[in-house]
Structure 1
């Protein structure tokens, strides 16, 4: 897979392999001719490009063989390796037709990944100020991949909502139709979302995408959304495994403290812009 990204610029020809490196920019010559090509062209299988040169000229056979006539011509029009040109250079493809002498993971990933249209909710999940572990959980929730009760029933396991006792635990119930989770969500986000706040998962997700033109409020709304989803899911699992219990007020305090810590860390990292964000959070919450 890596081979398709590598190209060789021949200098003195002492490093590049004649048969196995893409020095003609048409791929491996051994793949084009097969094993018999080494015999017809008179070049050993492990020869370097410089070994196909003698007295300043290409020294290969095959010009009279109709199978290799075109390849013979292609080699003949290529500049002959020369010591004055320095060592051979191995390059890595950054984009179509663009090669550099260093590897770049991001450029390579862009070329090999499966590309699809950007989903509308991406801005709600992968915004710059996110907390990675919380963003990952929100991504799972959006994909409806959390092991909620409705999904567990497919495996023969029956479980209701441990937060409110509802028999049918679904993603949409947990966020935020459940009285417990909606109490937390409403207390933390009501001043940011305003009259649009409600217990509907899809509506609140849409709001985090496009709800307000105010940049600070949008950052805070997304931080709160992530924090509530993450901590509700964590509380749900804690109760499921009988490891403890946290009331709504304690949960609200926990999330509030976490958001303040996140904003403070952003201030240390990015400067004074986020001091205003912290002041805004005090306004809408405290």
Structure 2
């Protein structure tokens, strides 16, 4: 619902702050009345898993993707009636590049105008008849938007109006520019010598958007756009120990809080993260042998189940005044491992199976 309305309107920041607060309260307290007592800040929770977060996208940050998508829909002429209506009734038939921000526009339109500079690394225009592509503003050569290169004196130096399309720089099927009087003008003429002059038979101009491979394509990807505008944080070495294909979700979450030094176990005087967790990470990274891949999965799963049951044991001793002895605790961990390893999703034809590796591990260290 939030994504739907964000894709249509520019919502106020307090709205996203409130929704994030509700989500944080539900995650930590199982209610939406308050987020008090949260062990990890919502900003850190919304980091990618490889950066030590839960992989949830922060709404206010992802809202920028919707704003950029509106710009893509406008330039790509998506077929929506909103595009020609906006061009004719609000912009007076002029290009968005030539429109300045003004209070007379709605917040949605103003957000589009304010993001024009962000399009330089995301939007390109392929060569067509050049009747809609602006000579000075569109990214149609390797030099980028030419108005940034030539400055305010560019239109006078090249004798091309500021609102001219690329087709207006062509005469009788050839580029029609005055003799170069600057290094920039000379470089432009060299580049144009490698580009065929546009004609009516080339078809209409087509705008392209950044793709995951680094090039440009004719479709918009929200995920790729978010990755482009997201400010990355340092990667954590332990994310593959917490998140993997055969994980137990509740154990992964508790292990995440342990690695983030936010798991309440009344042992804050110890070094964090605990040496045992560091040892698991090192072992999983350097383990060798013929069945190393399945053995690493088994070790990751075992470490998560142990951490989870230690946390449950802590809660039982503090809140219910009950405790388990060493043997009973081992049976709890063993039961959790067997339940997971006997699940249909982990039953394979490979030999040895994860269950056999686990049983071998027990006989080796028991």
Indicate yes or no: 2:262 matched with 1:146. Answer: yes
Compute the displacement of 1:32 (Å).
0.5
Residue of structure 1 aligned with 2:175, choices 58, 62, 71 = 58
- Hey, what does 1:11 align to over in structure 2? 128
Compute the displacement of 1:18 (Å).
1.9
- Hey, what does 2:283 align to over in structure 1? 207
- Hey, what does 1:69 align to over in structure 2? 185
Compute the displacement of 1:254 (Å).
5.1
- Equivalent residues, number: 239
Query: 1:278 & 1:47 partners in 2: Cα distance?
Result: 71
- Hey, what does 2:210 align to over in structure 1? 92
The TM-score, its normalising length taken from structure 1, stands at: 0.60
Q: Show the 5 A alignment for 1:183-262.
A: 200-211=276-287, 213=289, 214-215=291-292, 216-233=294-311, 235-236=313-314, 242=319, 247=324, 252=330, 255-262=333-340
- Hey, what does 2:346 align to over in structure 1? 267
Query: 2:190 & 2:305 partners in 1: Cα distance?
Result: 62
The TM-score, its normalising length taken from structure 2, stands at: 0.49
* Kept after mapping to 1: 8 A contact 2:316/2:323: no
Runs of 4+ with deviation above 6 angstroms: 110-113, 115-118
Q: Show the 5 A alignment for 1:15-30.
A: 15-30=132-147
* Kept after mapping to 2: 8 A contact 1:20/1:29: yes
* Kept after mapping to 1: 8 A contact 2:131/2:205: yes
* Kept after mapping to 2: 8 A contact 1:14/1:88: yes
Cα 1:219–1:239 shift into 2, 3 Å:
same
Q: Show the 5 A alignment for 1:22-41.
A: 22-41=139-158
Query: 1:57 & 1:274 partners in 2: Cα distance?
Result: 70
Deviations 1:202-223 (A, max 9, x none): 4444334334523333321110
State the Cα RMSD in Å: 4.4
Structure with larger Rg: 1
Query: 1:135 & 1:2 partners in 2: Cα distance?
Result: 38
Indicate yes or no: 2:198 matched with 1:81. Answer: yes
- Hey, what does 2:353 align to over in structure 1? 276
Query: 1:8 & 1:48 partners in 2: Cα distance?
Result: 12
Query: 1:16 & 1:133 partners in 2: Cα distance?
Result: 53
* Kept after mapping to 1: 8 A contact 2:134/2:166: yes
Cα 1:281–1:8 shift into 2, 3 Å:
same
* Kept after mapping to 1: 8 A contact 2:257/2:263: no
Cα 1:223–1:80 shift into 2, 3 Å:
same
